[in-house]
């Protein structure tokens, strides 16, 4: 018996699977990843020495007729391969995205135990389709929209290094900008155009802008890179995310579930800028629960500008002790341990 993690396309779909796999590794249980061929999974899984297989699967929705036909044929081909990997008696865990579908189909056809984890506050399409075939459906948020099946609220699994990092107690004015695993052009524009105000407010900035957006973001900053070279660091990607995040006093980030729960585990105040085009506005709802607990500020993408960013930074800076106290009071569940127990392996 092995456990197969199926999903990917973004770090948000992959990292929960990595967190659960840490629990399997402790108990010497074999596991395998079936992921997309976008490359981000390769960059994450290879350094961890995880076994994985890339699949050429494309989204069906929002495609032309030709694109939809191609997506269907790709799905049939990749499902054929999944049927060879998934064996009767295996357990299959879906973590979302179209890369999860072939293994899900194989699990259903071979009567394997199927589980799924929904990271976001709105259940995604693939998870909605396969929820009724799943033995258990794990949720990050109690009030997840469109959720169906045998529901269990577990929170979103994050890697143990986030739980083990000590929350920051002092204040050094360190501001970390995260645009998600692929970067965010709109956040890059906002930060680069607001850098004078940010510097005037006394912050030292590390800005992760995304590998594909690095050159254009550097151009956005122009001479400011040299002008503020002692206090402004621009990076395409952050290799050791937990180390960088644990040093920050404030984090500006998208609000995918992975980011929200990692930042929550580190007990760091945040300014969330939800991706406006996320399906059913789920990034906004991901952050809303934390906002209601007084742990973060939300800036809606279409309204975020230098003035609103400056006000948000100053509000957290001036009330840093209050935000940190609210985060301390907010419970953090070790979701990967909860899910491992629910798999009924041992």
Q: Could you read off the pLDDT of 54-77 as tens digits, one per residue?
A: 998 766 656 677 767 777 778 888
Query: Cα–Cα distance between 192 and 297 in angstroms, integer?
Result: 20
At residue 63, the pLDDT reads: 63
Concatenating the DSSP letter of every residue in 94-121 gives: E-SSGGGHHHHHHHHHTT-EEEEEE-SS
At residue 62, the pLDDT reads: 61
Query: Cα–Cα distance between 341 and 58 in angstroms, integer?
Result: 33
Burial class (CB in 10 A: 0-12, 13-18, 19+), 37: middle
pTM of the model: 0.88
Q: Tell me what the mean pLDDT of segment 121-148 comes to.
A: 93
Concatenating the DSSP letter of every residue in 257-319 gives: HHHHHHHHHHT--EEE---TTSGGGHHHHHHHHHHHTTSEEE--TTT--HHHHHHHHHHHHHT
Specify the range with the lowest mean pLDDT, choosing from 65-69, 203-207, 272-276: 65-69
At residue 82, the pLDDT reads: 94
Mean pLDDT over each residue of the chain, to the nearest integer: 93
Q: Tell me what the mean pLDDT of segment 153-175 comes to.
A: 94
At residue 280, the pLDDT reads: 87
Confidence class for position 332, pLDDT limits 50, 70, 90: confident
In this prediction, what percent of the chain has a pLDDT beyond 70? 98
Query: Cα–Cα distance between 235 and 243 in angstroms, integer?
Result: 14
Q: Could you read off the pLDDT of 282-302 as tens digits, one per residue?
A: 999 999 989 999 999 999 999
At residue 240, the pLDDT reads: 86
Nearest to 57 by CA among 16, 95, 8, 105: 8
CB 70: neighbour CB atoms within 10 A? 14
Residue 5 phi/psi, 5° resolution?
-95, 125
Residue 252 phi/psi, 5° resolution?
-100, 125
Residues contacting residue 308 through CB under 8 Å, at least 6 positions apart: 299
Helix ranges (DSSP H) in 86-194: 101-109, 125-130, 160-164, 185-193
Nearest to 258 by CA among 97, 129, 128: 97
Domains and CATH numbers, the chain: 3-153 (3.40.50.2000), 162-329 (3.40.50.2000)
At residue 204, the pLDDT reads: 98
Residues 296 and 250: beta-carbon distance below 8 Å = no
Residues 167 and 247: beta-carbon distance below 8 Å = no
Q: Hey, what long-range contacts does 222-229 have (CB within 8 A, 24 or more apart)?
A: 224/192, 224/195, 224/196, 228/195, 228/199
At residue 60, the pLDDT reads: 60
Pairing of strands 296-298, 250-253: unpaired
Q: The tokens of 178 are what?
A: 């995260």
Q: Could you read off the pLDDT of 9-60 as tens digits, one per residue?
A: 888 899 999 999 999 999 999 999 999 988 889 989 999 999 999 998 766 6
């Amino acid at each position: 018996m092995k456990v197969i993690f199926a999903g990917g396309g973004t770090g948000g779909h992959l990292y929960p699977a990595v967190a659960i796999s840490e629990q399997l590794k402790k108990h010497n249980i074999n596991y395998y990843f079936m992921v997309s061929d976008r490359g981000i999974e390769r960059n994450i899984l290879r350094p961890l020495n995880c076994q994985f297989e890339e699949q050429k699967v494309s989204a069906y929705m929002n495609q032309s007729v030709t694109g939809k036909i191609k997506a269907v044929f790709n799905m049939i081909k990749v499902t054929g391969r999944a049927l060879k990997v998934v064996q009767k008696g295996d357990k299959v865990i879906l973590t979302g995205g179209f890369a999860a579908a072939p293994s899900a189909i194989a699990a259903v056809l071979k009567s394997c135990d199927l589980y799924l984890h929904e990271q976001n506050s709105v259940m995604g399409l693939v998870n909605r389709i396969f929820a009724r075939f799943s033995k258990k459906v794990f949720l990050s948020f109690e009030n997840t929209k469109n959720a169906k099946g045998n529901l269990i609220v577990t929170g979103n699994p994050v890697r143990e290094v986030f739980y083990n990092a000590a929350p920051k107690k002092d204040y050094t004015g360190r501001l970390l900008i995260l645009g998600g695993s692929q970067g965010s052009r709109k956040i890059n524009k906002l930060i680069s155009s607001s850098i004078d105000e940010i510097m005037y407010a006394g912050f030292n900035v590390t800005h992760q802008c995304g590998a594909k957006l690095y050159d254009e973001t550097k151009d956005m900053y122009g001479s400011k890179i040299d002008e503020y070279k002692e206090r402004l660091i621009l990076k395409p990607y952050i290799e050791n995310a937990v180390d960088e995040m644990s040093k920050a006093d404030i984090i500006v980030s998208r609000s995918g579930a992975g980011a929200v729960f990692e930042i929550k585990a580190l007990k760091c105040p945040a300014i969330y800028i939800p991706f406006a085009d996320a399906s059913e506005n789920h990034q906004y709802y991901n952050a809303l629960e934390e906002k209601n607990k007084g742990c973060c500020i939300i800036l809606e993408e279409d309204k975020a500008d230098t003035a609103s960013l400056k006000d948000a930074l100053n509000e957290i800076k001036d009330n840093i002790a209050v935000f940190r106290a609210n985060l301390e009071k907010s419970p953090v569940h070790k979701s990967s341990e909860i899910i491992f127990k629910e798999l009924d392996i041992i």
